[in-house]
Every structure is written in C-alpha cells, then in structure tokens.
Amino acid sequence: MKIRSIRLAQAVLLGLMTSFPIVSSAETAVSAGIVQPSQAAQQHFNKGRALIKQNQVAQGIISLDNAAAQGHPQAAYELAALYEAGLGVQKNYNRAKHYYEVAIQQGHRDAHFNLALLFNGEQAPFDDLKRARELMNVVAKQGDIEAQFVLANMLNASSAQVSSQPAQAVQWLGRAANRGHEKAQFQLGMHYLRGQNVARDTNAAYHWFTQAAKKNVAGAHFNLALMHERGDGIPANLQTAIRWYTTAADLGNANAQQNLGIKYLIGEHVAANTNKAMSLINSAAASGLKNSQLLLGQLYQSGFDGKVRVDLAKAETWYLRAAKQGQPDAQYQLALILLEKQNSKGDAKFWIQQAVAAGHQDAMKLQANL
C-alpha cells in the first residue's frame, strides 16, 4: 500500500495558503535531540518565513536555504516539504529528498516520516520499501500514532527486495489501535474477522469495529451490520443490522447503500419503499460500485414489480459503466441490448468477447451462434 499524507510545515503554509492548494497538514513534532541552530541560522530562518508569508517565495527560499546550510533543521524540513508538494517552487523530489536527509541528520523527527513516505511513494522516483520502513520505525518507536499505523501498512506490503512481515504489522496496528487510531482499529477488526495473520476472533473483531464506528469509520458500521445480520459471533439481530446499515449508508459506504437499498426494494425487515431503494442503489452505483451498476441495469432492463419502469437507455448506461469495470454479467447484458440496436453490432461483439474472456457461459453460447 502506498500512502501519501505528507506532513507540511504549518508556518510555511501560512504564507502560501492564499496562492497554493494544501494537500494535508499535521502538527510538526521534533525529537528531543534536535540540533539547536545558531543565531545567524535562526535569523535566516525568520527572514525566510517572513518573506514567504509576504508571498515573496523565491527570496524566502534563498533565506531558508541559507538557514539550512548553517544547521537549521526546521529550515531544511520546510524546504523539503515545499519541494515535495510543489508549493511556491517547481516540484522536485530529489531536492526534497536532499533536504529531508539534512533535517534528519540534525534530529528532525517528522523528516523521517516524510522521507519514509517519499521512498514508498507512487509518484516519487524512489522505490525503497526497506528504507521506508526503517525511517518510519524511528518515528513509530517514539510514539507517533500515525507513524505506527503507516508502518503497519508498510510491513504488510512487499517488494522485489523485501517480503511482507504480517506478524509485526499486526503488532503495530494493535499499538495504534489501543491509542485510538480509528483506521488501525478498523484494520485490526478486519484481521480478527478474517483470521488473517491472527486466530479468527469475532469478539475481538466486534470490539475493534465498535471502537472505529464511534469515530464514524463507515466500513466499521457496515461490518457491524453484517455481523448482526449473519449472527457472526453474536446473536443475529436484524433490526440492529438495519440500524448499522443505515448509519453506514449515511456515512457514504457504498456496500451498505446497496444492501439497504435492496432491503427497501423488496421490503426485507423494513417497509418497502421503492423511491428510497432506488436513491440508495443509485448512490452506490454513482460511487463506482459495479455490482450496484449491474443491479440498476437489470432493474431498468426488466422493470420491477410495476414500481420501476423499463428504460433501456438507462439500462444501457449502467451496464456500460459496470462493463467498463470488468463485470461480465454487465458485459453480456450490454451486448444483448446493443445487438438489438442499429449500427451497434460491432460494439456488441466487443462486449461479448470481454465476457467470454471472463468465462461467462451464456456469452460463450451467444458468440458461437453469431
């Protein structure tokens, strides 16, 4: 997993907010062993910040560079963050790497964090998971909760040079989860629910999903709904499941929107409400859930119970969206619609071929008869 959550220096950003978008920010934290800059370095640093706040970015960077050269760790860190984000300067990952390394040598803790992400980044010209782990480990051991979570994901990942270390990943997830990191709580719950790198433990899964749900992690709400509906480790309670589906759907979880939408469509444990059902399923489909797109295609192709009208144009639209995501049933149904349209036989054959490649049996029969 590649994670981008660069910790940009707040002080520098204050001068750039009116001109540049901000990717994200976090409070700067430094280790107790950080180098104390000389008076001259501090003066250059203060001048650089002042100039940047006045949007005189080029001159400000010169002053920050002078400060960094004279041993000012925060100046090096802020320069690195600016070059990485391309704030006020042309984005330059090599310059960012250089300044992060300078800041690290001078004891700056968050420079470890950002450089670790740079070594594990999707866009940066570096790909060194081993080094990324080493750098993130420094910050995680100092108690940085976000670093603990990110390190866990780095340990779960692998590359050509290093293998995954799932047992250590779970340990770091546990440390972050115990300190209240909601994403770590959710992921730890998933490990226990699936029995992935730990013994399956539905009680532990339920506990961690409940903790994450308190912080509005939509996936945790959805998984609690599933556990209550299926009676997975807890007594089945369909009304409680509906409540969790509802809160998950309200938080934007597409799977919850689809499941709840189907329940409203057929009146399963709730009063049937076609308008509400279609609104929920549309929301899930619009977010990109291909099975919801397929479902809408089917509903508009065949109609439903006199409450959803047949609309082949809408059916084609939703089948196409699902087909483009590789949904073979959608590819097959789209082909059937296209075969009935003038000048669309070529497109129909294309989608039949896609469905056949995915092993769709009906598509194979259709192709043989064309």
Q: What is the dihedral of CA 355, 359, 360, 364, to 10 degrees?
A: 80
Beta bridge partners of 308: 304
- What residues make up the domain containing 180? 140-205
Does 67 lie in the same domain as 19?
yes
Beta bridge partners of 38: none
- Rounded to whole angstroms, the Cα distance separating 253 from 248 reads 5
Q: Which of 179, 205, 231 is the last residue of a domain?
A: 205
Does 147 lie in the same domain as 107?
no
Does 55 lie in the same domain as 99?
yes
More confident residue, 189 or 25: 189
Q: Which of 161, 186, 205 is the last residue of a domain?
A: 205
Which tens digit of pLDDT belongs to each residue from 217-257? 999 999 999 999 999 999 999 999 999 999 999 999 999 99
Q: Tell me whether residue 79 is in a domain.
A: yes
Which tens digit of pLDDT belongs to each residue from 253-307? 999 999 999 999 999 999 999 999 999 999 999 999 999 999 999 999 999 999 9
Does 21 lie in the same domain as 115?
yes
Q: Tell me whether residue 366 is in a domain.
A: no
Does 151 lie in the same domain as 54?
no
Q: Tell me whether residue 216 is in a domain.
A: no
pLDDT band, residue 135 (cuts 50/70/90) = very high
Which tens digit of pLDDT belongs to each residue from 329-365? 999 999 999 999 988 999 999 999 999 999 999 999 9
- Rounded to whole angstroms, the Cα distance separating 199 from 183 reads 20
- Give the chain's domain count: 2
> Using the 8-state DSSP alphabet, how is residue 215 labeled?
T
Q: How many CA atoms lie within 13 A of 59 on its CB side?
A: 10
- Rounded to whole angstroms, the Cα distance separating 81 from 75 reads 10
User: 149-174: buried (b, 16+ CB within 10 Å) or exposed (e) per residue?
Assistant: bbbbbbbbbeeeebeebbebbbebbb
Q: Tell me whether residue 49 is in a domain.
A: yes
Supply the CATH number for residue 73's domain.
1.25.40.10
Does 75 lie in the same domain as 173?
no
Which tens digit of pLDDT belongs to each residue from 210-228? 999 999 999 999 999 999 9
User: What would the mean pLDDT of 167-193 be, rounded to a whole number?
Assistant: 98
- Give pLDDT, residue 122: 76
